[in-house]
Amino acid sequence: MARGLGRFWGKVKVRETREGRTPPPVCEAAPADVAQLLRLEDEAGAALSLSRTRLMVMGLGVGLFFAVLSVRATGLALFPADPASVPHSYAEAPVRRGEITDRDGEVLATNLDFHSLWADPAMVWDAQETAEQLATVLTDLDVDRTARMLSSNRRFVWVARQLTPRQRQAIHLLGLPGLDFRIEAGRIYPKKRAAAHVVGYTDTDLNGVSGAELAFESELSSGDGRPVSLSIDLTAQNAIERVLRARMAEFSAEGASAVLMRVGTGEILSLVSLPDFDPNRPSDSAGVDRFNRALTGVYELGSVMKPLTLAAALETGEVRVGDVFDATHPLRVGGFTIHDFHPERRPLTAREAIVHSSNIATARMADTIGSEEMRRFFSDLRLFERAPVELAESAEPLMPARWGRTENMTASFGHGFNISPVTLTAAYAALANGGVYVPPTFRPVAPGETVVGEPVMSASTAAQVLGVMRQVVTEGSGGAANVEGLAVAGKTGTAEQIVDGRYNRRAVYNSFISIFPFDDPQYVLLVTLYLPQPTENTHGYRTAGWNAAPTAGEVIGQLASILGVAPREADPSAQADLVSAMFPPRVRVRQGPEEPLDLVSLSEAEPQP
């Protein structure tokens, strides 16, 4: 069969009978030559017939092809096919990153199409000249690096991403060969610096780098276009940022932070960390600006820990608010000495220990209940773990290598272990929530939604401590945080920081933790100033009662209308008096100034004999 086809389509050949000879004329040929001539004529006729057959077969094939094509075209014209039944091949559509909004739908992060510049190095005439020309438009362009890229053997290199329309037009007018533009999605932050540490930012390929952009990466990049809502209240956020910026400048502080949390739901309505940055241009900011002081920073926060120590002591049942602890003399423990900044030099009740912020009395209170009970209570408040929020920036606390008697007593007034402001705020939210701990969250909670928490103390203990904290504001060092009609309860804290291995009185972190309204707790606010300086208005003092407390008071005053907190018509101290009446009589409280964390430097402490 194959041989036959090969013969059919093969080249037609006429064989000569003898090399170099032609057939003789018929008239002169011998009978043998006549036979040979007839064979040649038969072969020539066969070859001609084969050629004609081939042409006919080819013609039929071409005709059949056009006939089928014509029939198909006619069929499609008369009976169009169902589009759904026809297979298609689509180019994959680009995935659009979801928006980020605040709790009220205000857009914090969204997408915008940008022109990006790329080059085909093979089409670039002069790499060095091209790079220099581009630098006249793109002022931050690395000329040498760009020239090397444009001299490479690759056929595609990015030159600049997310250009402004003005930059694109200027580059276009340069008329440089080998360059072109591509439209790609970019991320923009219309509120700029507002809540920057919470929102975070992405890289040029729209991958989350920090904040909510990183924490909710899977949702934002799913491509369904649904926004991710945060618990942040942008109006409250702006108000707090505005106050903190002004106070930070007034006290020449190196930084400031604030955390506002809703009691009962754990929603973080505001988180401020200053200095901050513009997520539209994160590379323009220094690393310290992108550092989240409220969540990543862990600090010895000082006397704001004392009400929690009182709560631990009351919860054991071994201490009552009227119990007396000797604060007449400095306390020597573990070879070191604990002092009070403005000592009362007398026995103090547990209540007075908090109002006067006595390191000595608070340390004796912690010693009474023991390190095991203190550790258990602090652990229930999750002070020994990172704040359980969605953001990856939440940092682990720094704990002492061992928790013995000395560590237990110093921890009672905020020395010797470091926690984040968010961690502390969540602990106080449990105190304000009747003793029930609810994890902090950046997710909004729907109205009427029930959030299940974990009981960590009794409601009676929480009420007693709140009563004492109210007295800190009405009678103690937190007076500057008092807001008429809002019944603020709180506690100041001034913590010396370690500089070159020693505690430095001039390097302090000042805080004020507040719960308001006191008689119907709804919000917890923690304000912190980092390394504030004394001013003429503070009479040379740098402690929290002179800066952090008035800052918190100003913030609360502005938040009342934003959060819908109505002024209290009743006497704001009435609830404190009611709580006080539930317990045995106590020594009259005398007003005393706030003290910094005044544990004598370990290198200077007088050893215990």
Tell whether 249 and 215 lie within a shared domain. no
- Rounded Cα distance between 85 and 253, Å, is 70
Half-sphere exposure at residue 267, Cβ-oriented, CA atoms within 13 angstroms: 21
Quickly state the pLDDT bin for 364 (edges 50, 70, 90): very high
Model pLDDT, residue 371? 95
Measure the CA–CA gap between 255 and 278, rounded to whole angstroms: 16
Q: What is the mean pLDDT of residues 289-300?
A: 96
Backbone dihedral angles phi then psi of residue 5, each to the nearest 5 degrees:
-65, -40
| Residue 83 banded pLDDT, cuts 50, 70, 90 | very low
- What six digits make up the tokens of 80? 């169009």
Are 320 and 396 part of one and the same domain? yes
184, β-bridge pairs: 114
Average pLDDT, the chain: 84
Confidence (pLDDT) at 600:
42
Same domain, 264 and 125: no
pLDDT band for position 580 (50/70/90)?
Answer: low
Question: What is the tens place of the pLDDT at every residue in 90-129?
Answer: 333 455 789 999 999 999 999 988 788 989 988 888 888 8
Does 479 share its domain with 384? yes
Task: Examine the pLDDT at 71 and tell me if it is beyond 80.
Answer: no
- DSSP per-residue codes, 96-132: PPPPEE-TT--EEEEEEEEEEEEE-GGG-S-HHHHHH
Cα angle 458, 464, 466; round to 5: 105
Q: How confident is the model at residue 39 (pLDDT cuts 50, 70, 90)?
A: low
Determine, yes or no, domain membership for 3. Answer: no
Look at residues 176, 197, 230 and tell me which one is the last residue of a structural domain: 230
- For 51, other C-beta atoms within 10 Å of its C-beta total 11
Report the pLDDT averaged over residues 269-273.
Answer: 98
pLDDT at 256 over 70: yes
The reply to whether 591 falls in a domain is no
303 is catalytic: yes
Kindly give the interhelix angle for 234-250 and 548-563, rounded to the nearest 10 degrees: 160
How far from chain centre, in Å, is Cα 76? 57
> Both 191 and 319 in a single domain?
no
In this model, does residue 62 exceed pLDDT 90? no
Residues 408 and 468 reside in one and the same domain: yes
pLDDT of residue 425: 98
Instruction: Give Cα separations from 445 to 202, 391, 442 (angstroms).
Output: 26, 17, 9
The answer on pLDDT for 185 being more than 90 is no
Q: What is the CATH number of the domain that holds 562?
A: 3.40.710.10
What confidence score (pLDDT) does residue 16 get? 46
Residue 530 and residue 395 share a domain: yes
Question: Do β-strands 157-163 and 454-455 pair in parallel, antiparallel, or remain unpaired?
Answer: unpaired
Burial class (CB in 10 A: 0-12, 13-18, 19+), 205: exposed
Catalytic residue (one of 303, 358, 573, 580):
303
Q: Is 587 helix (H, G, I), strand (E, B) or coil?
A: coil
User: Residue 77 falls within a domain, yes or no?
Assistant: no
Q: Whole-structure pTM over 0.85, yes or no?
A: no
* 223 vs 434, higher pLDDT: 434
Integer CA distances (angstroms), 61 to 73, 74, 95, 507, in order: 18, 20, 49, 97
| pLDDT computed for residue 78 by the predictor | 52
pLDDT tens digits, one per residue of 200-235: 999 988 899 999 999 999 999 987 778 999 999 999
pLDDT of residue 570: 56
pLDDT at 249: 97
Tell me, yes or no, whether 592 lies in a domain.
Answer: no
Q: Which of 51-65, 396-410, 538-552 has the least mean pLDDT?
A: 51-65
Q: What's the distance, Cα to Cα, between the start and end of the chain in Å?
A: 117
pLDDT at 25 over 90: no
What long-range pairs does 532-539 form, CB within 8 A, spacing at least 24? 532/251, 532/252, 532/253, 532/508, 533/251, 533/252, 533/253, 535/250, 535/251, 538/251
Residues 265 and 306 both lie in one domain = yes
126 is written with which tokens? 């002069």
Within 13 Å of residue 145, how many CA atoms lie on the same side as its CB?
Answer: 7
Q: Three-class SS of residue 362? A: helix
Question: Is-cis flag, bond preceding 330, omega within 30?
Answer: no
Q: Over range 327-351, report the average pLDDT.
A: 92
Q: Looking at residue 261, what is its pLDDT?
A: 98
Pick the more confident residue, 609 or 311: 311
Q: What's the pLDDT score for residue 285?
A: 83
pLDDT-derived band at 609, boundaries 50, 70, 90? very low
Q: What is the largest CA-CA distance in the chain?
A: 160
Flag whether pLDDT at 53 surpasses 60. yes
Q: How many domains does the chain have?
A: 2
> What are the E-state strand segments in 263-334?
268-274, 324-326, 331-333
Q: Which of 340, 365, 364 is nearest to 598 (CA)?
A: 340
> What pLDDT, on the 0 to 100 scale, is given for residue 234?
97
Residues 283-314 as b or e (16 or more Cβ within 10 Å = b): eebeeebbbbbbbbbbbbbbbbbbbbbbbbbb
pLDDT at 586 over 50: no
pLDDT band at 390 (very low <50, low <70, confident <90, very high): very high
Domain co-membership, 362 together with 225: no
Strand 228-229 versus strand 179-188 pairing type:
unpaired
Do 117 and 249 belong together in one domain? no
36 lies in some domain: no
- Please check whether residues 361 and 474 belong to one and the same domain: yes
The mean pLDDT value for 19-37 works out to: 49
Structural domain range at position 213: 100-230
CA distances from 227 to 270, 369, 426 (A): 19, 50, 27
* pLDDT greater than 60 at residue 578: no
Average pLDDT on 532-544 reads 93
Residue 520, token pair as written in the block: 């119907």
> What average pLDDT does the segment 37-41 reach?
50
Residue 539 and residue 454 share a domain: yes
pLDDT in tens, 444-476: 999 888 899 999 999 999 999 999 999 999 999
pLDDT class of 33 with cuts at 50, 70, 90: low
Could you tell me the two tokens for 568? Answer: 């209290």
Beta strand ranges found along 353-501 (DSSP E): 436-437, 454-455, 489-499
Is pLDDT of 12 > 50? no
Summarize the confidence of residues 117-145 as an average pLDDT: 88
Beta-sheet pairing, 324-326 with 331-333: unpaired
CB 486 within 8 A of CB 390: no
Assess if residue 118 is contained within a domain.
Answer: yes
The tens digit of pLDDT for each residue in 435-447 reads 999 999 999 999 8
Entry field: residues in the chain: 609
Residue 430 to residue 433: CA distance in whole angstroms = 5
- Please list, in sequence order, all residues whose beta carbon lies within 8 angstroms of the beta carbon of residue 313, skipping any fewer than 6 positions away: 319, 350, 365, 366, 368, 369
Q: Which residues contact 524 (CB under 8 A, 6 or more apart)?
A: 259, 260, 261, 263, 425, 428, 429, 432, 513, 514, 515
pLDDT attached to residue 530: 97
So what's the pLDDT on residue 585?
41
Q: Which of 568, 561, 511 is nearest to 239 (CA)?
A: 561
Whether residue 371 lies inside any domain: the answer is yes
Pick from 121, 125, 113, 116: which is nearest to 154 by CA?
121
Judged against a pLDDT cut of 80, whether residue 598 lies above it is answered with no
CATH number at residue 192: 3.90.1310.10
33 assigned to some structural domain: no
